[in-house]
Structure 1
Amino acid sequence: MTEQSQPTPGQRVERLRRAAGLSRERLAGLASLSPTTVKFIENGKRSLTLRAAQQLAPPLGVRDLGDLFGPTVTLSLDGHPSHPAVEDVRRALTAWHVTMTGEPASTDYLRGASDFAWQTWHTSRQQRTEVGMLLPGLLDATQRAARLHEGPDRRASLALLAQSYHLAQAYLAWHGDRELCWLTVDRGMAAALDADDPLALAQAIWYAAHLLRSTGRGDEAIERLREARGPIEPQVADGPAEYAEMLADLYLCSALTRARAGDQGAWADWQSARDVVHQVLPADYVGLRTRVSRPLVEVYAVMCAVDLGDPDEAQRRAHALDPATIPSTERQGRHYVELARSADLEGAREATLHLLTKADSTSPETVRYSPPARDMLTRLATEAPASIRADAVELAERAGINL
């Protein structure tokens, strides 16, 4: 067999799956991947990553990953690109202060600092760089306050400390250090439990569910999200708007988790979130940290459709959604990446490049650090028609991709 006729990694996965007598759904379950992911790997619409290959190998009876990648594929062990501020954030997370003295910052000051950091995350075009500068100081200040305050101020400080850990998780999510992400989840959960605040606990579970889903524990994530809704739902009718915001966000997270497992039940959870937002919250409501709002609900609809492998539905959902109405620069950038994924599923390479260019102009760091965006750009830079390849190479290089 010549080099030109070598099967692609996706074709190798499909041949081995068929030889093992496995359906895509069965292989996906055994490998802790979604059926849609397996489908896209096999048909070449998603690259076979080293992590996915390691998950697929045991059920396929593969002992040498070369059997999946073939002799012409070079594997990089560099992982996801790391942001320059990761080490500063790591030091803040692992600086265990045995003793603390002095006066802690007031809870009003800390709340303002936390709100400013979250506002920066959602409004800056370079959100990771700007938040990376704020996070170490915010983590230190909230850690001190949780140790030094007493009574109600301590509980309020613990809730704010949990928010600092959540922001650290959002910052770290795409930088390849899974252990550090788990640390933020565990610390955030512990702080929320000590705060004895149902909203803080629900938010901690929401963040934990995202990491559970990304590590193949989607069923566990859905169960934790269901449990979190229990204390929140009774407060929605008469309580502060934050309870309705949190309930909607829990449903949205559950919808996305189901979609990534290929479960059409995602739409029922999505509809529950939409009902809460449209029936309980004011029409112009925007959550400070979550950005829960009417436009965000529609963003999730596009994401669910893409992850369910339905580009027609994704495009239909996106048709009426003006990206400029999405109340977060970071989420706008991610929305353009989702639209690019939808175009990529249909093999529309010009549209894929156009949408990734829009994402880059909206939020360059979203393209630079987003694994799906980097995957699409890498393929476009090497496989796109000559008429757009130079533009794809330029965008890939701007995003820091070594071709």
Structure 2
Amino acid sequence: MVDQQIIPGERVERLRRAAGLSRERLAGLAGLSATTVKFIENGRRSLTLRAAQQLAPHLGVRDLGDLFGPQVSISLDGRPSHPAVDDVRRALTAWQVTITGEPESTDYLRGAIDAAWQTWHTSRHQRTEAGQLLPGLLEATQRATRLHRGADRRVSLALLAQAYHLAQAYLAWHGDRELCWLAVDHGMTAALDADDLLAVGQSIWYAAHLLRATGRGDDAVERLGEARALIEPHVADGGVEWAEMLADLHLCTALTKARMGDQGAWSDWDTARQVVERALPSGFVGLRTRVSRPLVDVYAVMCAVDLGDPDEARRRAHTLDPASIPSTERRGRHYVELARSADLEGAREATLHLLTRAEATSPETVRYSPAAQDMLGRLAREAPASVRAEAMDLAQRIGVVN
């Protein structure tokens, strides 16, 4: 019988201890940060349905009432899904058995994919615009890989991998994890068939994000190490794209370690900083990755937040002008990270202010971000009256509550 007097966080802690798990181990298994588990247990953060679903299998819980208590009513509605998901799903699962006609040229396809990535990084409504572009982009690149031969086919395969990566970026916050895995698998297969080391490295980068999100942080770090071993020998004599890829792999490793509560994240972050400063031209911005000096600083804030150090996050953010972040989508996510830092300190007014800034920058980033949804939901329910009305207005505006 569940004790109805204790809060859900206390139930999580009791079950974790009974299972013989440290917070860090449970967090890694569940795909959460150690700080998130800590704050759930001590009541500084609400136990959301999403977090409960991630934690339950590793705590031996089959009935979520064992976490929330039988008196709690739980809605099983999924997180908001974008209206174009079904169209993207059809494009990802289409098998074009018979293909005729002439393929698009590799130059045309490269231009189309570059334009799609530029849209992703510059539009305030990047998911809506990407959702409109992706079905046609996937179909055109899939056709090209079937109809081209020789070197053009290998180039087409590398471009197809990029189209799948954009699909994964689009799908990441919409709850259909199997569809994300399909995009990762298709992207990796295309990159390997292209025999293109840069395409393989980037495919591993994307796979690592999904491995981390599903509680396989150790696997993600291992795969990222393999990718760096592929890329690093070419940095000295190759073009800037090799250094860009190496820096991005180190940044992904740093964030993965931070979400596992590993202070070694700062070593990888510093290596990425050195690569950007020494091997990339001043003012360089990666077209698809957005690797740049400001992006390195963005990652520093993210690592500090995930390591549970709001003072360090605030210090790192102090000299970073959000206007310098070369991506609207990334800028919106940066404001969400700053809101997470304020949330860690219990600064509700600051949290709401930063979420409002995020929504003004990129409404869809806030609408579909699980972290933003969690913070706004709690503010709308629990904040003082002076904040709650404004939080409710923002939550209604982006569809978190009706």
Task: Pick the TM interval, shorter chain.
Answer: over 0.9
Q: TM-score by structure 1 length?
A: 0.95
Give the fraction of aligned pairs with identical amino acids, expressed as a percent.
80
2:356 is aligned to: 357
Alignment of 1:2-151 (within 5 A): 6-18=5-17, 23-28=22-27, 31=30, 33-57=32-56, 60-151=59-150
Code of the residue aligned with 1:263 in structure 2: it is D
**Unaligned 5+ residue runs, structure 1?**
none
Alignment of 1:321-336 (within 5 A): 321-336=320-335
Code of the residue aligned with 1:214 in structure 2: it is A
Q: Residue 14 of structure 1: CA displacement?
A: 2.5
Distance 2:170 2:69 in 1: 35
2:172 is aligned to: 173
Q: Residue 12 of structure 1: CA displacement?
A: 2.2
Over 3 Å counting, the alpha-carbon distance change for 1:21 and 1:113 in structure 2 is closer
Over 3 Å counting, the alpha-carbon distance change for 1:26 and 1:82 in structure 2 is closer
Q: Residue 54 of structure 1: CA displacement?
A: 4.0
1:23-65 CA distances to partner (integer Å, 9 max, x unpaired)?
4335445656442221021133433233533443455454432
Q: Residue 18 of structure 1: CA displacement?
A: 4.8
Distance 2:23 2:163 in 1: 40
Q: Residue 395 of structure 1: CA displacement?
A: 0.2
SS in 2 for 1:201: helix
Alignment of 1:315-394 (within 5 A): 315-394=314-393
1:248-277 CA distances to partner (integer Å, 9 max, x unpaired)?
000000000000000001001101100000
Distance 2:70 2:330 in 1: 39
2:297 is aligned to: 298
Alpha carbons 1:166, 1:184 under 8 Å: kept? yes
Over 3 Å counting, the alpha-carbon distance change for 1:29 and 1:160 in structure 2 is closer
SS in 2 for 1:289: coil
Code of the residue aligned with 2:369 in structure 1: it is S
Over 3 Å counting, the alpha-carbon distance change for 1:68 and 1:391 in structure 2 is same
Distance 2:260 2:52 in 1: 18
Alpha carbons 2:81, 2:175 under 8 Å: kept? yes
2:394 is aligned to: 395
SS in 1 for 2:290: coil
Over 3 Å counting, the alpha-carbon distance change for 1:205 and 1:381 in structure 2 is same
Alpha carbons 1:120, 1:131 under 8 Å: kept? yes
Code of the residue aligned with 1:152 in structure 2: it is A
Q: Residue 165 of structure 1: CA displacement?
A: 0.2
1:221-255 CA distances to partner (integer Å, 9 max, x unpaired)?
11111001112111111211000000000000000
Distance 2:158 2:394 in 1: 41
Question: Number of residue pairs matched?
Answer: 400
2:156 is aligned to: 157
1:187 is aligned to: 186
Q: Residue 77 of structure 1: CA displacement?
A: 1.6
Distance 2:53 2:260 in 1: 18
Code of the residue aligned with 2:103 in structure 1: it is P
Deviates more, 1:323-332 or 1:76-85: 76-85
Deviates more, 1:222-231 or 1:74-83: 74-83
Distance 2:394 2:76 in 1: 23
Over 3 Å counting, the alpha-carbon distance change for 1:124 and 1:61 in structure 2 is closer
Distance 1:145 1:225 in 2: 29
Over 3 Å counting, the alpha-carbon distance change for 1:337 and 1:30 in structure 2 is closer
Code of the residue aligned with 1:239 in structure 2: it is G
Alpha carbons 1:208, 1:221 under 8 Å: kept? yes
Q: Does 1 or 2 have the higher relative contact order (CA < 8 Å, sep 6+)? A: 2
* Pairing 1:254–2:253 present: yes
Alpha carbons 1:302, 1:317 under 8 Å: kept? yes
2:236 is aligned to: 237
2:197 is aligned to: 198
Distance 2:25 2:195 in 1: 42
Over 3 Å counting, the alpha-carbon distance change for 1:400 and 1:58 in structure 2 is closer
Code of the residue aligned with 1:329 in structure 2: it is T
Distance 1:191 1:20 in 2: 41
1:285 is aligned to: 284
Deviates more, 1:225-234 or 1:246-255: 225-234
Q: Residue 97 of structure 1: CA displacement?
A: 0.6
Over 3 Å counting, the alpha-carbon distance change for 1:23 and 1:153 in structure 2 is closer
Q: What root-mean-square deviation, in Å, do the aligned CA atoms of Structure 1 and Structure 2 show?
A: 1.7
Deviates more, 1:26-35 or 1:177-186: 26-35
1:223 is aligned to: 222
